[in-house]
C-alpha cells in the first residue's frame, strides 16, 4: 500500500505553533505544556485496546512466553527502556519483556534513521532473540507506516504470535491485519514531524500501562507495594525493610533482619513472618500459589 505521508496527522503543521520561532521562551514552554496536557485524555480513549494487549500479555507469560517490543528511532528506544525497567522494579525474569530496535544496539544511543526502511532486518532481528509461537509482539510506530516494524509484525503473525500495533495516527488499512490496534490520534506535533514529543510521551504512557498492569496481574505487587522487589542496593534495602515493617508487627530493625534472612526477597520475608516459617517453606508457598502473595497471607490492612 502506497502511503502519502503528507496526509498523516503526525506530519501536519500544528496551527498553534506556526510562529513558534517568534515566541518568547515562556510562550514556547507554555504552548508545549498546553499540547502535552491533551495527551492523557486521548490515551484514555484507547484503554479498551490496551486492556486486550494486557490480557494477551498475561496469558503469554503464564504459558511460558514473553512480550517483545519492536520499533525504530524514538519508538524503539522507548520499548527498550520499558523492557529494561521491568526486572529491577518487579524482580521479573529478564526474558519476560524484551525490546528490539531497527539498527541494533548502536541505534539505542545514535540515530540510525535508514534502518527503519529495511524490512528484511526485522525477521533477522526477531529470530536473533528467539521469538516463538505464543509470544506477544508489540510494534511501535508513531506514523503507523514504518516498514521495519510492519514487517516484524507480519512475520510474528505468520509464526503464531499475538500482534499489537501502537500508532499515533488514525489506523491505516495495513494495520487491520494485526490482533490489536492501539491508535492515539494526538493531532500535529509542536514541531512538525517531531514524534519524539507528543507521540513519544503517549507511547511512554501506554507502555507503562501495559507493563505495569501485566505485572500487577502476575502477582508482582500487594496493594500498591512492590513486594516482589529483590534487594540490590541500599535504596531498595530501605524500601524493602519499610514494606515489611508496614505489613507486619515488626519494627524497622527487626524487619531488616528478616529481610536479610530471606536472602533479600521482600515477598519471601513477608511469608516467613506471616506464616512463622522458614525461607525454604516460604519459597515453596510462592511456587504453589504462582507468586500470588495475597493468596498466601490474605488481606492485611495497608
CATH classification at residue 118: 3.40.50.10490
* DSSP track, 49-77: HHHHHHHHHHHHHHTT--EEEEESHHHHH
Of 219, 217, 206, 172, the residue nearest 48 (C-alpha):
206
Residues 45 and 81 in one domain: yes
Residues 263 and 177 in one domain: no
Side-chain-side CA neighbours of 161 within 13 Å: the count stands at 30
Residues 191 and 134 in one domain: yes
Residues 198 and 244 in one domain: no
H or E segment and range at residue 287? helix 279-288
Q: Which domain holds residue 268?
A: 234-297
Residue 227 counted as domain residue: no
CB of 94 within 8 A of CB of 162? no
Residues 266 and 133 in one domain: no
Q: Which residue reads 531488616 in cell numbers?
A: 256
pLDDT at 2: 54
Indicate which residue of 85, 95, 123, 174 is catalytic: 85
Residues 153 and 190 in one domain: yes
* 49 assigned to active site: no
138-to-112, 132, 146, 205, 302 alpha-carbon distances in Å: 21, 14, 13, 14, 35
Which residue, of 217, 246, 278, is where some domain finishes?
217
* 116 assigned to active site: yes
Cα–Cα distance, 190 to 15 (Å, whole number): 9
pTM equals: 0.89
Residues 129 and 45 in one domain: yes
pLDDT at 115: 76
Residues 30 and 155 in one domain: yes
Count how many domains the chain has: 2
Tens-binned pLDDT, residue by residue, of the chain (302 aa): 556 666 688 778 899 999 999 999 999 999 999 999 999 999 999 999 999 999 999 999 999 999 999 999 999 999 999 999 999 888 899 999 999 999 888 888 887 777 776 888 999 999 999 999 999 999 999 888 899 999 999 999 999 999 999 999 887 655 568 999 999 999 888 999 888 999 999 999 999 999 999 999 998 999 999 888 878 889 989 999 999 999 999 999 999 999 999 999 999 999 999 999 999 999 999 999 988 999 999 987 65
Which residue, of 217, 246, 262, is where some domain finishes?
217
Indicate which residue of 35, 49, 116, 189 is catalytic: 116
Residue 228 counted as domain residue: no
CB of 116 within 8 A of CB of 146? yes
pLDDT at 5: 64
Residue 256 counted as domain residue: yes
Amino acid at each position: 500500500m502506497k502511503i502519502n505521508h503528507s496526509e498523516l496527522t503526525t506530519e501536519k503543521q500544528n496551527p498553534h505553533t506556526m510562529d513558534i520561532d517568534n515566541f518568547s521562551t515562556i510562550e514556547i514552554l507554555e504552548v508545549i505544556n498546553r499540547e502535552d496536557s491533551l495527551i492523557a485524555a486521548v490515551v484514555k480513549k484507547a484503554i479498551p485496546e490496551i486492556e486486550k494487549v494486557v490480557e494477551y500479555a498475561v496469558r503469554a507469560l503464564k504459558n511460558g512466553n514473553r512480550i517483545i517490543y519492536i520499533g525504530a528511532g524514538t519508538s524503539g528506544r522507548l520499548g527498550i527502556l520499558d523492557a529494561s525497567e521491568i526486572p529491577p522494579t518487579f524482580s521479573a525474569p529478564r526474558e519476560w519483556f524484551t525490546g528490539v530496535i531497527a539498527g541494533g544496539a548502536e541505534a539505542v544511543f545514535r540515530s540510525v534513521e535508514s534502518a527503519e526502511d529495511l524490512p528484511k532486518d526485522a525477521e533477522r532481528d526477531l529470530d536473533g532473540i528467539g521469538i516463538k509461537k505464543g509470544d506477544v509482539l508489540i510494534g511501535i510506530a508513531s506514523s503507523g507506516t514504518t516498514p521495519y516494524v510492519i514487517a516484524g509484525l507480519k512475520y510474528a503473525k505468520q509464526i503464531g504470535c499475538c500482534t499489537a500495533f501502537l500508532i499515533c495516527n488514525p489506523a491505516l488499512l495495513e494495520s487491520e491485519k494485526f490482533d490489536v490496534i492501539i491508535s492515539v490520534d494526538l493531532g500535529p506535533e509542536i514541531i512538525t514531524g517531531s514524534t519524539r514529543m507528543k507521540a513519544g510521551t503517549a507511547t511512554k504512557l501506554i507502555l507503562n500501562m501495559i507493563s505495569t498492569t501485566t505485572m500487577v496481574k502476575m502477582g508482582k505487587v500487594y496493594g500498591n507495594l512492590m513486594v516482589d522487589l529483590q534487594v540490590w542496593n541500599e535504596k531498595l534495602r530501605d524500601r524493602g525493610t519499610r514494606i515489611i515493617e508496614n505489613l507486619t508487627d515488626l519494627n524497622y530493625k527487626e524487619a531488616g533482619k528478616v529481610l536479610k534472612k530471606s536472602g533479600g526477597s521482600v515477598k519471601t520475608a513477608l511469608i516467613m513472618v506471616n506464616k512463622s516459617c522458614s525461607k525454604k517453606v516460604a519459597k515453596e508457598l510462592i511456587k504453589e500459589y504462582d507468586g500470588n502473595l495475597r493468596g498466601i497471607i490474605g488481606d492485611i490492612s495497608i
